Structure 1
Amino acid sequence: MGFTVQDFGDLVKLIETNEEWRQRLRTLLLGREIEDLPDQMQTMQKAVGALFSEMARAFNNQAQTLTSLIGAIQTLVSSINTLIVVQKRQAEEFASWRAEVNERFAKLEEAIARLAEAQARSEERLS
């Protein structure tokens, strides 16, 4: 006896109503690997979700670190600018003091030269 289209329809109805038959037929036709795909996919989704969460935490940590570094750099730049102003002022004051000291030394040299001349004249008169 042959298998007819009517028989096939009956077979389909039987398979649809019998969960155990449907499962066995699915395993037979698709193989165990295909059946395992939903579980594998769910496992991968969990793993990917965990990785994304970890990456988000790492990104937030990096963003906080970057914000801290930017603040530190701004503080350093401000300090350096203040030091530049102070250094320029000190250089100007030093140049002013140096000019004053040079002027005083020049006056002292002139005074010493005049005193030496006066002493020489005094020694001449006394001799």
Structure 2
Amino acid sequence: MAITQSDLPELVRLLQQHPEWREALRLILLGEELINLPQLVRQIVETQHQIVNILQEIVQVQRRHEQQIAQLIEGQRRHEEWLQRLSEGQQRHEEWLQRLSEGQQRHEEILRQHTEWLQRLTETQERLIEEQQRNSQRLAHVETVQDRLIREFEELRSEFQALRQELRQEVKELRSEVGRMMQALGLTVEEHAEDILITVMERKGWKLVRGPNSLALNGELDLIAVFEDTDGQQRTVLMEVKLRLSRREVEAWAHRGRSEGFIRKLQEQGFRAPYHPYLFGFRIDVAADDAARHARMGLITSRGELLEPEVIEQV
């Protein structure tokens, strides 16, 4: 039986009395996709909120990275300032050593002149003795002259001894002062090398486990430290520290660092393989760089790691 327009009020009344019919009629008229549209909209809104939260986390991580980069730049600037101060200190030490050398040359010249004076006095005395032997009439005069020369000789000898004592004292004081300055400079260099070593290893993702310390093994090892790499393996890092690195020092450390006796003493002190031998220098000669590459030794400067070493597994 067909439904006409006159039947619509009755149909509306029945739908109001039976809500379940309205739901069925809505499903028929709108289709399942339109019915589910509000749920899809809510899911899209929720997904949008999640994306916004993720973007906010990314922004926070980016800010932290920028702060870390700023800290690294500041640390590099401080290291360069330390290097500048150390270079200026070295220049002053070289100037002091130059003045010491010039003073020593002047003192040697004075000693040479006094030696010549003594030689001339000796020769004069000998001539006077010969003159005395040839002419007895001039004996009194010769004796007078001889006495005067002897007095002058004694005075000169006293002056010479006083000058020599003064020179020795000045040289002693200068050597003591230079020694203290060089010791202080060496401690500053080693402290700076410790900071650079830790920074280089942390950039590799290694964690410091022990040290850095110095170690006396038939000659002092400047720095030794134990790190744990990203796989959890402990690695022993050995480093010689020099203000100015030369080829001879590279070759000497390469020979000593890989010798059986040296490795055995490390093991006796509780430091196990693998070993990573490094050299640190503020200034590195070209020949030293070539020697380090040839000997497969690690090379570190105040700017970071230049060469990675060949790892010593076992001897």
- TM-score in terms of structure 1 length: 0.58
Q: Which residue of 1 aligns with 2:80?
A: 80
Rg larger in structure: 1
1:52 positional shift: 2.5
Q: Which residue of 1 aligns with 2:38?
A: 38
How far, CA to CA, are the matches of 1:15 and 1:98 in structure 2?
115
Equivalent positions of 1:9-20 (< 5 A) are 10=9, 13-14=12-13, 17=16, 18-20=18-20
How far, CA to CA, are the matches of 2:3 and 2:87 in structure 1?
107
Deviates more, 1:24-33 or 1:64-73: 64-73
CA deviation vs aligned residue, 1:83-122 (integer Å, no higher than 9, x gap): 223323423x2552464367468769978xx79xx7xxxx
Equivalent positions of 1:110-121 (< 5 A) are none
- Runs of 4 or more, structure 1, over 3 Å off, are 11-16, 97-111
Q: Which residue of 2 aligns with 1:96?
A: 95
CA deviation vs aligned residue, 1:29-73 (integer Å, no higher than 9, x gap): 221111112222222333332332233223223322322332232
Q: Which residue of 1 aligns with 2:48?
A: 48
Taking a change above 3 Å as real, the CA distance of residues 15 and 79 of structure 1, as seen in their structure-2 partners, is farther
Root mean square deviation, CA, Å: 3.8
Taking a change above 3 Å as real, the CA distance of residues 26 and 2 of structure 1, as seen in their structure-2 partners, is closer
Q: Which runs of 5+ in 1 are unaligned?
A: 119-127
How far, CA to CA, are the matches of 1:16 and 1:71 in structure 2?
73
Could you tell me whether the CA contact under 8 Å between 1:15 and 1:22 is conserved in 2?
Answer: no
Higher strand share: 2
Higher helix share: 1
Deviates more, 1:12-21 or 1:62-71: 12-21
Task: Determine helix, strand or coil for the equivalent of 1:46.
Answer: helix
Taking a change above 3 Å as real, the CA distance of residues 28 and 15 of structure 1, as seen in their structure-2 partners, is farther
Matched AA of 2:99: E
- TM-score in terms of structure 2 length: 0.29
Could you tell me whether the CA contact under 8 Å between 1:16 and 1:22 is conserved in 2?
Answer: yes
**What is the identity percentage for the equivalent residue pairs of Structure 1 and Structure 2?**
19
Q: Which residue of 2 aligns with 1:28?
A: 28
Q: Which residue of 2 aligns with 1:3?
A: 4
Matched AA of 1:3: T
Matched length: 117
How far, CA to CA, are the matches of 1:15 and 1:61 in structure 2?
61
How far, CA to CA, are the matches of 1:72 and 1:15 in structure 2?
78
